[in-house]
Structure 1
Amino acid sequence: MRRKIPSTAALIAFESAARNQSFTKAAQELSLTQGAVCRQIAALEAFLNIELFRRSRRGVVLTEAGQSYARRVAGQLDAVERDTLAVMGQQGAMNIELAVVPTFGTQWLLPRLKDFQRLHPEVTVNLTNRTRPFLFADTEFDAAVYFGDGDWSGTRSHLLMRENAMAVCSPALLQDQAQLSAEQIAALPLLQQTTRPYAWRQWFNAQGLNSPRDMSGPRYELFSMLAQAAMHEMGIALIPPFLIRRELDEGRLVMASTHSLASDKAYYLIIPERKLESAALLHLRDWLVREASAYAESSGLN
Protein backbone atom coordinates (compact mmCIF):
# COMPACT_ATOMS: atom_id res chain seq x y z
CA MET A 1 0.00 0.00 0.00
CA ARG A 2 1.37 3.38 -0.97
CA ARG A 3 1.97 5.63 2.04
CA LYS A 4 0.27 9.01 2.28
CA ILE A 5 3.52 10.93 2.73
CA PRO A 6 4.59 14.10 0.85
CA SER A 7 8.06 14.41 -0.66
CA THR A 8 11.00 14.88 1.68
CA ALA A 9 12.15 17.91 -0.33
CA ALA A 10 8.81 19.61 0.23
CA LEU A 11 8.89 18.89 3.97
CA ILE A 12 12.44 20.24 4.30
CA ALA A 13 11.53 23.41 2.40
CA PHE A 14 8.41 23.87 4.55
CA GLU A 15 10.28 23.32 7.83
CA SER A 16 12.95 25.86 6.89
CA ALA A 17 10.40 28.44 5.71
CA ALA A 18 8.30 27.95 8.84
CA ARG A 19 11.30 28.28 11.15
CA ASN A 20 12.62 31.37 9.36
CA GLN A 21 9.16 32.82 8.65
CA SER A 22 10.51 33.61 5.20
CA PHE A 23 10.71 31.92 1.82
CA THR A 24 13.78 34.01 0.98
CA LYS A 25 15.73 32.93 4.08
CA ALA A 26 14.71 29.33 3.50
CA ALA A 27 16.03 29.53 -0.06
CA GLN A 28 19.35 30.90 1.22
CA GLU A 29 19.60 28.23 3.91
CA LEU A 30 18.87 25.40 1.48
CA SER A 31 20.92 26.83 -1.42
CA LEU A 32 17.81 26.99 -3.62
CA THR A 33 16.09 29.74 -5.52
CA GLN A 34 13.13 31.42 -3.89
CA GLY A 35 11.00 30.16 -6.73
CA ALA A 36 12.01 26.57 -6.01
CA VAL A 37 11.02 26.95 -2.35
CA CYS A 38 7.70 28.49 -3.36
CA ARG A 39 6.98 25.59 -5.70
CA GLN A 40 7.82 22.97 -3.08
CA ILE A 41 5.54 24.57 -0.49
CA ALA A 42 2.74 25.07 -3.03
CA ALA A 43 3.01 21.38 -3.93
CA LEU A 44 2.86 20.46 -0.23
CA GLU A 45 -0.25 22.60 0.31
CA ALA A 46 -1.88 20.97 -2.74
CA PHE A 47 -0.99 17.52 -1.38
CA LEU A 48 -2.48 18.37 2.04
CA ASN A 49 -5.32 20.44 0.60
CA ILE A 50 -4.57 22.92 3.40
CA GLU A 51 -3.15 26.44 3.36
CA LEU A 52 0.03 26.49 5.44
CA PHE A 53 1.04 30.14 4.93
CA ARG A 54 -0.79 33.41 4.46
CA ARG A 55 0.95 35.43 1.78
CA SER A 56 1.04 39.22 1.69
CA ARG A 57 3.27 41.94 0.28
CA ARG A 58 5.12 42.05 3.59
CA GLY A 59 5.95 38.33 3.55
CA VAL A 60 4.46 35.09 4.79
CA VAL A 61 2.88 34.06 8.11
CA LEU A 62 2.01 30.53 9.19
CA THR A 63 -1.66 29.68 9.49
CA GLU A 64 -2.88 27.89 12.60
CA ALA A 65 -2.75 24.58 10.71
CA GLY A 66 0.71 25.51 9.43
CA GLN A 67 1.99 26.14 12.96
CA SER A 68 0.73 22.77 14.19
CA TYR A 69 2.12 20.90 11.19
CA ALA A 70 5.48 22.71 11.41
CA ARG A 71 5.99 21.55 15.02
CA ARG A 72 5.31 17.94 14.08
CA VAL A 73 7.37 17.98 10.91
CA ALA A 74 10.37 19.56 12.68
CA GLY A 75 10.36 16.82 15.31
CA GLN A 76 10.12 14.06 12.72
CA LEU A 77 12.89 15.51 10.54
CA ASP A 78 15.14 15.82 13.61
CA ALA A 79 14.49 12.14 14.42
CA VAL A 80 15.28 11.06 10.85
CA GLU A 81 18.51 13.07 10.94
CA ARG A 82 19.56 11.51 14.26
CA ASP A 83 18.86 8.01 12.98
CA THR A 84 20.73 8.72 9.76
CA LEU A 85 23.81 10.01 11.58
CA ALA A 86 23.69 7.01 13.92
CA VAL A 87 23.68 4.58 10.99
CA MET A 88 26.48 6.48 9.26
CA GLY A 89 28.53 6.32 12.45
CA GLN A 90 28.14 2.55 12.66
CA GLN A 91 29.98 1.81 9.44
CA GLY A 92 32.64 -0.81 10.14
CA ALA A 93 31.51 -1.20 13.76
CA MET A 94 29.32 -3.73 15.57
CA ASN A 95 26.93 -2.50 18.24
CA ILE A 96 24.99 -4.58 20.76
CA GLU A 97 21.95 -3.19 22.53
CA LEU A 98 21.81 -5.21 25.74
CA ALA A 99 18.96 -5.09 28.27
CA VAL A 100 20.18 -5.89 31.79
CA VAL A 101 18.68 -6.30 35.22
CA PRO A 102 19.99 -3.15 36.93
CA THR A 103 22.05 -4.22 39.94
CA PHE A 104 23.63 -7.15 38.10
CA GLY A 105 24.54 -4.76 35.31
CA THR A 106 26.14 -2.11 37.50
CA GLN A 107 27.72 -4.29 40.21
CA TRP A 108 28.87 -7.36 38.26
CA LEU A 109 28.83 -6.78 34.51
CA LEU A 110 30.12 -3.21 34.13
CA PRO A 111 33.33 -3.72 36.13
CA ARG A 112 34.22 -6.59 33.75
CA LEU A 113 33.21 -5.06 30.43
CA LYS A 114 36.60 -3.43 29.96
CA ASP A 115 38.04 -6.93 29.48
CA PHE A 116 35.52 -7.63 26.72
CA GLN A 117 36.33 -4.30 25.08
CA ARG A 118 40.03 -5.17 25.16
CA LEU A 119 39.36 -8.52 23.48
CA HIS A 120 36.84 -7.15 20.96
CA PRO A 121 37.45 -3.42 20.36
CA GLU A 122 35.29 -3.59 17.23
CA VAL A 123 32.17 -4.33 19.34
CA THR A 124 30.34 -1.66 21.34
CA VAL A 125 27.97 -2.85 24.09
CA ASN A 126 25.21 -0.43 25.09
CA LEU A 127 23.39 -1.21 28.35
CA THR A 128 19.80 -0.35 29.26
CA ASN A 129 18.02 -1.33 32.48
CA ARG A 130 15.06 -3.70 32.17
CA THR A 131 13.72 -5.57 35.21
CA ARG A 132 11.02 -7.63 33.48
CA PRO A 133 10.64 -9.68 30.27
CA PHE A 134 9.57 -7.96 27.06
CA LEU A 135 9.00 -8.74 23.39
CA PHE A 136 12.22 -8.36 21.42
CA ALA A 137 10.17 -7.55 18.31
CA ASP A 138 8.85 -4.42 20.06
CA THR A 139 12.29 -3.09 21.02
CA GLU A 140 15.73 -2.47 19.55
CA PHE A 141 17.42 -4.86 21.99
CA ASP A 142 19.72 -7.52 20.56
CA ALA A 143 19.91 -9.57 23.76
CA ALA A 144 19.12 -9.42 27.47
CA VAL A 145 20.57 -10.49 30.80
CA TYR A 146 17.55 -11.69 32.71
CA PHE A 147 16.79 -13.33 36.07
CA GLY A 148 14.25 -16.11 35.78
CA ASP A 149 13.79 -19.68 34.60
CA GLY A 150 15.31 -19.17 31.15
CA ASP A 151 11.99 -19.88 29.42
CA TRP A 152 11.56 -16.97 26.98
CA SER A 153 9.62 -17.67 23.81
CA GLY A 154 11.51 -17.31 20.53
CA THR A 155 14.94 -17.10 22.18
CA ARG A 156 17.96 -19.16 23.16
CA SER A 157 18.97 -18.91 26.83
CA HIS A 158 22.48 -19.36 28.27
CA LEU A 159 22.89 -19.96 31.99
CA LEU A 160 25.24 -17.50 33.66
CA MET A 161 24.96 -18.02 37.42
CA ARG A 162 22.57 -18.91 40.19
CA GLU A 163 21.55 -16.69 43.06
CA ASN A 164 22.06 -17.49 46.75
CA ALA A 165 20.64 -14.59 48.73
CA MET A 166 21.72 -14.01 52.32
CA ALA A 167 20.32 -11.90 55.14
CA VAL A 168 22.37 -8.70 55.46
CA CYS A 169 22.02 -5.56 57.53
CA SER A 170 23.87 -2.62 59.01
CA PRO A 171 26.42 -3.65 61.69
CA ALA A 172 24.42 -1.47 64.12
CA LEU A 173 21.48 -3.90 64.00
CA LEU A 174 23.63 -6.79 65.27
CA GLN A 175 24.21 -5.00 68.59
CA ASP A 176 27.59 -6.70 69.16
CA GLN A 177 26.23 -10.14 68.24
CA ALA A 178 28.11 -12.19 65.65
CA GLN A 179 24.89 -13.55 64.11
CA LEU A 180 21.14 -13.34 64.61
CA SER A 181 18.81 -16.29 64.89
CA ALA A 182 15.90 -16.72 62.50
CA GLU A 183 13.55 -15.78 65.37
CA GLN A 184 15.48 -12.56 66.03
CA ILE A 185 15.44 -11.67 62.33
CA ALA A 186 11.70 -12.33 62.14
CA ALA A 187 11.18 -9.67 64.82
CA LEU A 188 13.07 -7.00 62.85
CA PRO A 189 11.80 -4.94 59.87
CA LEU A 190 12.08 -7.08 56.74
CA LEU A 191 13.01 -5.29 53.52
CA GLN A 192 11.20 -6.84 50.56
CA GLN A 193 12.32 -7.18 46.94
CA THR A 194 9.51 -6.51 44.46
CA THR A 195 10.48 -9.18 41.94
CA ARG A 196 11.03 -11.82 44.66
CA PRO A 197 7.92 -11.37 46.83
CA TYR A 198 8.19 -14.78 48.58
CA ALA A 199 11.91 -14.64 49.34
CA TRP A 200 11.62 -14.13 53.09
CA ARG A 201 8.87 -16.74 53.40
CA GLN A 202 11.09 -19.27 51.62
CA TRP A 203 14.08 -18.30 53.77
CA PHE A 204 12.16 -18.79 57.03
CA ASN A 205 10.45 -22.01 55.85
CA ALA A 206 13.83 -23.52 54.96
CA GLN A 207 14.68 -23.19 58.66
CA GLY A 208 11.37 -24.63 59.86
CA LEU A 209 9.96 -21.28 60.94
CA ASN A 210 6.65 -19.69 59.98
CA SER A 211 6.71 -15.93 60.37
CA PRO A 212 3.41 -14.04 60.10
CA ARG A 213 5.38 -10.97 58.97
CA ASP A 214 7.39 -12.65 56.24
CA MET A 215 5.70 -10.65 53.45
CA SER A 216 5.36 -7.35 55.30
CA GLY A 217 7.74 -4.43 55.12
CA PRO A 218 8.73 -1.80 52.55
CA ARG A 219 9.18 -3.06 48.99
CA TYR A 220 11.96 -2.02 46.64
CA GLU A 221 12.37 -2.92 42.98
CA LEU A 222 16.18 -3.04 42.87
CA PHE A 223 18.76 -4.80 45.02
CA SER A 224 20.73 -1.56 45.08
CA MET A 225 17.74 0.07 46.80
CA LEU A 226 17.55 -2.75 49.35
CA ALA A 227 21.26 -2.36 50.04
CA GLN A 228 20.91 1.36 50.66
CA ALA A 229 17.92 0.83 52.96
CA ALA A 230 19.79 -1.86 54.91
CA MET A 231 22.87 0.35 55.28
CA HIS A 232 20.64 3.08 56.73
CA GLU A 233 19.39 0.68 59.42
CA MET A 234 15.88 0.45 57.97
CA GLY A 235 15.79 -3.33 58.31
CA ILE A 236 17.27 -6.60 57.06
CA ALA A 237 17.44 -7.52 53.39
CA LEU A 238 17.96 -10.74 51.43
CA ILE A 239 20.62 -9.95 48.82
CA PRO A 240 23.05 -12.16 46.85
CA PRO A 241 26.52 -11.34 48.22
CA PHE A 242 28.07 -10.97 44.76
CA LEU A 243 25.87 -7.90 44.18
CA ILE A 244 27.10 -6.13 47.34
CA ARG A 245 30.74 -7.24 47.47
CA ARG A 246 32.08 -3.71 48.05
CA GLU A 247 29.58 -2.95 50.83
CA LEU A 248 30.51 -6.20 52.60
CA ASP A 249 34.24 -5.67 52.18
CA GLU A 250 33.98 -2.14 53.57
CA GLY A 251 31.84 -3.28 56.52
CA ARG A 252 28.86 -1.11 55.61
CA LEU A 253 26.80 -4.30 55.43
CA VAL A 254 27.33 -7.53 57.36
CA MET A 255 25.87 -11.03 57.24
CA ALA A 256 23.09 -11.35 59.79
CA SER A 257 22.93 -15.13 59.37
CA THR A 258 24.90 -17.92 57.72
CA HIS A 259 21.78 -19.39 56.10
CA SER A 260 21.36 -18.64 52.39
CA LEU A 261 18.34 -18.89 50.11
CA ALA A 262 19.11 -20.99 47.04
CA SER A 263 16.80 -19.78 44.29
CA ASP A 264 15.39 -22.14 41.67
CA LYS A 265 15.88 -19.31 39.16
CA ALA A 266 19.11 -17.91 37.74
CA TYR A 267 20.71 -15.21 35.61
CA TYR A 268 20.60 -15.98 31.88
CA LEU A 269 21.84 -14.37 28.72
CA ILE A 270 18.83 -14.34 26.38
CA ILE A 271 19.38 -14.08 22.61
CA PRO A 272 16.44 -14.01 20.16
CA GLU A 273 16.58 -16.79 17.58
CA ARG A 274 16.81 -14.34 14.69
CA LYS A 275 20.07 -13.00 16.18
CA LEU A 276 21.81 -16.33 16.79
CA GLU A 277 24.23 -15.89 13.88
CA SER A 278 25.38 -12.40 14.90
CA ALA A 279 29.18 -12.41 15.21
CA ALA A 280 29.11 -9.67 17.85
CA LEU A 281 26.58 -11.56 19.98
CA LEU A 282 28.56 -14.78 19.65
CA HIS A 283 31.64 -12.97 20.97
CA LEU A 284 29.63 -11.55 23.88
CA ARG A 285 27.97 -14.91 24.62
CA ASP A 286 31.26 -16.81 24.76
CA TRP A 287 32.96 -14.17 26.90
CA LEU A 288 30.01 -13.71 29.28
CA VAL A 289 29.46 -17.44 29.83
CA ARG A 290 33.19 -17.90 30.45
CA GLU A 291 33.38 -14.98 32.92
CA ALA A 292 30.27 -16.10 34.80
CA SER A 293 31.49 -19.69 35.02
CA ALA A 294 34.86 -18.61 36.38
CA TYR A 295 33.26 -16.30 38.92
CA ALA A 296 30.71 -18.86 40.05
CA GLU A 297 33.44 -21.49 40.52
CA SER A 298 35.69 -19.15 42.49
CA SER A 299 32.79 -17.98 44.65
CA GLY A 300 31.18 -21.37 45.21
CA LEU A 301 27.97 -20.38 43.45
CA ASN A 302 27.70 -23.50 41.27
Structure 2
Amino acid sequence: MSGASVLFDSPGPRARIRNRIVTAVTVVLVLVVVWAVYSALESKGQLTAAKWEPFLTGNLWKTYVLPGVQGTLTAAAVSIVLAMLLGFLLGVGRLSHHNGIRRICSVIVEFFRAVPVLIMMIFAYFFYATYDLFPSKYLALAGVITGLTLYNGAVIAEIVRAGVNALPRGQSEAAEALGLQWGQIMRSILLPQAITSMLPVLVSQMVVVLKDTAIGYQITFVEMVRQGTNVGSSYGNYLPALIVIAILMICVNFALGVLATWIEGRLRRSKRGPEPMHVAPVTQGSFGAGAGGTI
Protein backbone atom coordinates (compact mmCIF):
# COMPACT_ATOMS: atom_id res chain seq x y z
CA MET A 1 0.00 0.00 0.00
CA SER A 2 1.44 3.38 -0.99
CA GLY A 3 1.78 6.31 1.41
CA ALA A 4 -0.78 8.32 -0.59
CA SER A 5 -3.51 5.73 -0.17
CA VAL A 6 -3.23 4.90 3.53
CA LEU A 7 -6.61 6.37 4.50
CA PHE A 8 -8.59 5.31 1.43
CA ASP A 9 -8.41 3.00 -1.57
CA SER A 10 -6.84 4.34 -4.73
CA PRO A 11 -9.55 5.36 -7.24
CA GLY A 12 -10.02 3.17 -10.28
CA PRO A 13 -10.34 4.35 -13.90
CA ARG A 14 -14.06 5.13 -13.61
CA ALA A 15 -13.62 6.97 -10.30
CA ARG A 16 -10.82 9.09 -11.77
CA ILE A 17 -12.97 10.05 -14.73
CA ARG A 18 -15.88 10.87 -12.42
CA ASN A 19 -13.65 12.99 -10.21
CA ARG A 20 -12.34 14.92 -13.20
CA ILE A 21 -15.87 15.60 -14.41
CA VAL A 22 -16.98 16.81 -10.97
CA THR A 23 -13.89 19.03 -10.71
CA ALA A 24 -14.47 20.54 -14.14
CA VAL A 25 -18.16 21.24 -13.38
CA THR A 26 -17.22 22.83 -10.04
CA VAL A 27 -14.63 25.09 -11.69
CA VAL A 28 -17.13 26.17 -14.33
CA LEU A 29 -19.78 26.97 -11.70
CA VAL A 30 -17.29 29.00 -9.65
CA LEU A 31 -16.26 30.97 -12.74
CA VAL A 32 -19.89 31.63 -13.61
CA VAL A 33 -20.62 32.91 -10.09
CA VAL A 34 -17.51 35.12 -10.11
CA TRP A 35 -18.46 36.53 -13.52
CA ALA A 36 -22.04 37.20 -12.39
CA VAL A 37 -20.83 39.04 -9.28
CA TYR A 38 -18.31 41.01 -11.31
CA SER A 39 -20.93 41.98 -13.90
CA ALA A 40 -23.36 43.10 -11.16
CA LEU A 41 -20.70 45.24 -9.50
CA GLU A 42 -19.54 46.62 -12.84
CA SER A 43 -23.08 47.64 -13.72
CA LYS A 44 -23.30 49.56 -10.42
CA GLY A 45 -20.07 51.37 -11.23
CA GLN A 46 -18.23 50.11 -8.13
CA LEU A 47 -15.20 48.81 -10.03
CA THR A 48 -14.47 51.79 -12.25
CA ALA A 49 -11.11 53.52 -12.08
CA ALA A 50 -12.70 56.64 -10.58
CA LYS A 51 -13.66 54.66 -7.47
CA TRP A 52 -10.04 53.67 -6.87
CA GLU A 53 -8.48 57.05 -7.52
CA PRO A 54 -9.01 58.39 -3.95
CA PHE A 55 -6.63 55.72 -2.66
CA LEU A 56 -3.84 57.28 -4.73
CA THR A 57 -4.02 60.46 -2.65
CA GLY A 58 -2.20 60.93 0.63
CA ASN A 59 -5.09 62.81 2.19
CA LEU A 60 -7.35 59.76 2.26
CA TRP A 61 -4.69 57.59 3.90
CA LYS A 62 -3.76 60.26 6.43
CA THR A 63 -7.35 61.11 7.33
CA TYR A 64 -9.02 57.69 7.30
CA VAL A 65 -6.90 54.60 6.72
CA LEU A 66 -3.77 55.19 8.82
CA PRO A 67 -5.67 56.24 11.98
CA GLY A 68 -7.76 53.09 11.63
CA VAL A 69 -4.66 50.93 11.19
CA GLN A 70 -3.04 52.58 14.21
CA GLY A 71 -6.12 52.03 16.37
CA THR A 72 -6.48 48.40 15.35
CA LEU A 73 -2.81 47.54 15.88
CA THR A 74 -2.63 49.39 19.20
CA ALA A 75 -5.71 47.71 20.64
CA ALA A 76 -4.67 44.29 19.30
CA ALA A 77 -1.06 44.52 20.55
CA VAL A 78 -1.98 45.62 24.07
CA SER A 79 -4.86 43.12 24.29
CA ILE A 80 -2.68 40.23 23.11
CA VAL A 81 0.02 40.94 25.71
CA LEU A 82 -2.47 41.36 28.56
CA ALA A 83 -4.56 38.37 27.45
CA MET A 84 -1.43 36.19 27.35
CA LEU A 85 -0.46 37.20 30.88
CA LEU A 86 -3.99 36.75 32.21
CA GLY A 87 -4.46 33.48 30.34
CA PHE A 88 -1.26 31.92 31.67
CA LEU A 89 -2.07 33.01 35.22
CA LEU A 90 -5.60 31.59 35.06
CA GLY A 91 -4.47 28.46 33.21
CA VAL A 92 -1.80 27.67 35.76
CA GLY A 93 -4.26 28.53 38.52
CA ARG A 94 -6.71 25.95 37.17
CA LEU A 95 -3.92 23.37 37.37
CA SER A 96 -3.01 24.30 40.94
CA HIS A 97 -3.09 21.68 43.67
CA HIS A 98 -4.70 24.25 45.97
CA ASN A 99 -8.44 23.66 45.84
CA GLY A 100 -9.42 27.28 46.53
CA ILE A 101 -7.18 28.76 43.81
CA ARG A 102 -8.37 26.17 41.32
CA ARG A 103 -12.05 26.91 41.96
CA ILE A 104 -11.64 30.69 41.84
CA CYS A 105 -9.76 30.51 38.54
CA SER A 106 -12.36 28.12 37.12
CA VAL A 107 -15.21 30.50 37.99
CA ILE A 108 -13.39 33.45 36.42
CA VAL A 109 -12.60 31.52 33.23
CA GLU A 110 -16.10 30.15 32.78
CA PHE A 111 -17.70 33.55 33.47
CA PHE A 112 -15.65 35.54 30.97
CA ARG A 113 -15.94 32.82 28.35
CA ALA A 114 -19.73 32.98 28.60
CA VAL A 115 -20.10 36.78 28.39
CA PRO A 116 -20.04 38.23 24.82
CA VAL A 117 -17.08 40.46 24.00
CA LEU A 118 -19.30 43.37 22.96
CA ILE A 119 -21.10 43.42 26.31
CA MET A 120 -17.79 43.54 28.16
CA MET A 121 -16.60 46.38 25.93
CA ILE A 122 -19.76 48.41 26.50
CA PHE A 123 -19.75 47.74 30.25
CA ALA A 124 -16.08 48.73 30.59
CA TYR A 125 -16.61 51.84 28.45
CA PHE A 126 -19.47 53.18 30.59
CA PHE A 127 -17.80 52.06 33.82
CA TYR A 128 -14.65 54.00 32.99
CA ALA A 129 -16.69 57.00 31.85
CA THR A 130 -18.83 57.02 35.01
CA TYR A 131 -15.87 56.97 37.40
CA ASP A 132 -13.61 59.07 35.13
CA LEU A 133 -10.82 56.49 35.19
CA PHE A 134 -9.43 57.40 31.77
CA PRO A 135 -9.34 60.61 29.73
CA SER A 136 -12.23 60.86 27.29
CA LYS A 137 -9.79 60.50 24.41
CA TYR A 138 -8.85 56.97 25.53
CA LEU A 139 -12.20 55.73 26.84
CA ALA A 140 -13.05 53.72 23.72
CA LEU A 141 -9.55 52.25 23.51
CA ALA A 142 -9.65 51.23 27.18
CA GLY A 143 -13.07 49.63 26.73
CA VAL A 144 -11.95 47.62 23.69
CA ILE A 145 -8.75 46.45 25.39
CA THR A 146 -10.65 45.43 28.54
CA GLY A 147 -13.22 43.38 26.66
CA LEU A 148 -10.66 41.66 24.45
CA THR A 149 -8.31 40.96 27.37
CA LEU A 150 -10.93 39.39 29.62
CA TYR A 151 -12.51 37.19 26.96
CA ASN A 152 -9.33 36.04 25.21
CA GLY A 153 -7.53 35.64 28.53
CA ALA A 154 -10.19 33.12 29.55
CA VAL A 155 -9.83 31.29 26.23
CA ILE A 156 -6.03 31.21 26.47
CA ALA A 157 -6.35 29.83 30.01
CA GLU A 158 -8.16 26.81 28.61
CA ILE A 159 -5.51 26.45 25.90
CA VAL A 160 -2.78 26.46 28.55
CA ARG A 161 -4.61 23.91 30.69
CA ALA A 162 -5.16 21.61 27.72
CA GLY A 163 -1.56 21.96 26.55
CA VAL A 164 -0.11 21.07 29.94
CA ASN A 165 -2.52 18.16 30.45
CA ALA A 166 -1.54 16.78 27.03
CA LEU A 167 2.06 16.24 28.16
CA PRO A 168 3.06 12.76 29.38
CA ARG A 169 2.26 12.41 33.07
CA GLY A 170 5.51 10.60 33.69
CA GLN A 171 7.47 13.84 33.42
CA SER A 172 5.77 15.48 36.39
CA GLU A 173 5.91 12.23 38.36
CA ALA A 174 9.65 11.93 37.73
CA ALA A 175 10.15 15.56 38.76
CA GLU A 176 8.20 14.96 41.98
CA ALA A 177 10.35 11.91 42.66
CA LEU A 178 13.41 14.16 42.39
CA GLY A 179 11.95 16.43 45.07
CA LEU A 180 10.89 19.39 42.91
CA GLN A 181 8.01 21.55 44.06
CA TRP A 182 4.86 22.05 41.97
CA GLY A 183 5.86 25.57 40.98
CA GLN A 184 9.30 24.41 39.87
CA ILE A 185 7.83 21.58 37.84
CA MET A 186 5.37 23.91 36.10
CA ARG A 187 7.91 26.67 35.45
CA SER A 188 10.92 24.58 34.42
CA ILE A 189 9.48 21.42 32.85
CA LEU A 190 5.83 21.55 31.80
CA LEU A 191 5.21 25.11 30.55
CA PRO A 192 8.30 25.33 28.27
CA GLN A 193 7.21 22.17 26.47
CA ALA A 194 3.53 23.11 26.36
CA ILE A 195 4.23 26.55 24.83
CA THR A 196 5.79 25.00 21.74
CA SER A 197 2.82 22.71 21.12
CA MET A 198 0.30 25.46 21.92
CA LEU A 199 1.87 28.05 19.61
CA PRO A 200 -0.33 27.39 16.54
CA VAL A 201 -3.49 27.67 18.64
CA LEU A 202 -2.20 30.81 20.35
CA VAL A 203 -1.53 32.41 16.96
CA SER A 204 -5.08 31.60 15.89
CA GLN A 205 -6.32 33.34 19.03
CA MET A 206 -4.14 36.37 18.22
CA VAL A 207 -5.84 36.60 14.84
CA VAL A 208 -9.21 36.47 16.61
CA VAL A 209 -8.12 39.37 18.84
CA LEU A 210 -7.08 41.39 15.80
CA LYS A 211 -10.38 40.83 14.02
CA ASP A 212 -12.49 41.42 17.12
CA THR A 213 -11.17 44.96 17.40
CA ALA A 214 -13.74 45.77 14.69
CA ILE A 215 -16.49 45.28 17.28
CA GLY A 216 -15.22 48.41 18.99
CA TYR A 217 -17.04 50.64 16.51
CA GLN A 218 -20.09 50.21 18.75
CA ILE A 219 -18.37 52.36 21.36
CA THR A 220 -16.98 54.85 18.79
CA PHE A 221 -13.54 53.24 18.67
CA VAL A 222 -11.55 54.26 15.58
CA GLU A 223 -10.41 51.05 13.86
CA MET A 224 -9.84 49.80 10.32
CA VAL A 225 -13.29 48.54 9.40
CA ARG A 226 -15.02 51.64 10.77
CA GLN A 227 -12.65 53.86 8.82
CA GLY A 228 -13.26 51.80 5.69
CA THR A 229 -17.00 52.44 5.93
CA ASN A 230 -16.24 56.13 6.53
CA VAL A 231 -14.21 56.19 3.33
CA GLY A 232 -17.09 54.54 1.46
CA SER A 233 -19.62 57.05 2.75
CA SER A 234 -17.36 60.00 1.97
CA TYR A 235 -16.25 58.96 -1.52
CA GLY A 236 -19.12 56.69 -2.54
CA ASN A 237 -16.81 53.69 -3.08
CA TYR A 238 -17.84 51.18 -0.42
CA LEU A 239 -16.63 48.12 -2.26
CA PRO A 240 -13.11 49.38 -3.10
CA ALA A 241 -12.75 50.72 0.44
CA LEU A 242 -13.69 47.39 2.01
CA ILE A 243 -11.40 45.52 -0.41
CA VAL A 244 -8.46 47.71 0.62
CA ILE A 245 -9.27 47.19 4.31
CA ALA A 246 -9.56 43.43 3.77
CA ILE A 247 -6.15 43.35 2.05
CA LEU A 248 -4.60 45.25 4.96
CA MET A 249 -6.13 42.83 7.48
CA ILE A 250 -4.88 39.84 5.47
CA CYS A 251 -1.35 41.30 5.40
CA VAL A 252 -1.32 41.82 9.17
CA ASN A 253 -2.66 38.31 9.84
CA PHE A 254 -0.12 36.83 7.44
CA ALA A 255 2.65 38.69 9.25
CA LEU A 256 1.43 37.20 12.55
CA GLY A 257 1.56 33.72 11.04
CA VAL A 258 5.09 34.23 9.71
CA LEU A 259 6.23 35.55 13.09
CA ALA A 260 4.71 32.58 14.90
CA THR A 261 6.36 30.13 12.49
CA TRP A 262 9.73 31.79 13.09
CA ILE A 263 9.29 31.71 16.87
CA GLU A 264 8.21 28.06 16.78
CA GLY A 265 11.28 27.17 14.74
CA ARG A 266 13.56 28.97 17.19
CA LEU A 267 11.93 27.23 20.14
CA ARG A 268 12.25 23.81 18.56
CA ARG A 269 15.90 24.38 17.62
CA SER A 270 16.70 25.59 21.13
CA LYS A 271 15.27 22.37 22.61
CA ARG A 272 17.52 20.09 20.59
CA GLY A 273 20.09 18.15 22.52
CA PRO A 274 23.85 18.62 22.17
CA GLU A 275 25.54 17.41 19.05
CA PRO A 276 26.85 13.86 19.38
CA MET A 277 30.58 13.54 19.94
CA HIS A 278 32.60 12.36 16.97
CA VAL A 279 34.95 9.62 18.16
CA ALA A 280 37.74 8.54 15.89
CA PRO A 281 37.51 4.86 14.92
CA VAL A 282 39.86 2.55 16.75
CA THR A 283 42.30 0.71 14.53
CA GLN A 284 44.30 -2.36 15.31
CA GLY A 285 47.58 -0.48 15.51
CA SER A 286 46.27 2.00 18.04
CA PHE A 287 46.24 -0.50 20.90
CA GLY A 288 49.36 -0.25 22.95
CA ALA A 289 50.55 2.83 21.05
CA GLY A 290 51.18 4.62 24.34
CA ALA A 291 53.66 1.91 25.24
CA GLY A 292 55.30 2.10 21.83
CA GLY A 293 54.08 -1.26 20.67
CA THR A 294 51.42 -2.75 18.37
CA ILE A 295 49.35 -5.87 18.42
TM-score, normalised relative to structure 2: 0.21
Give the TM-score, by structure 1 length.
Answer: 0.20
The structure where helix makes up a greater share of residues is: 2
Decide which structure has greater strand share. 1
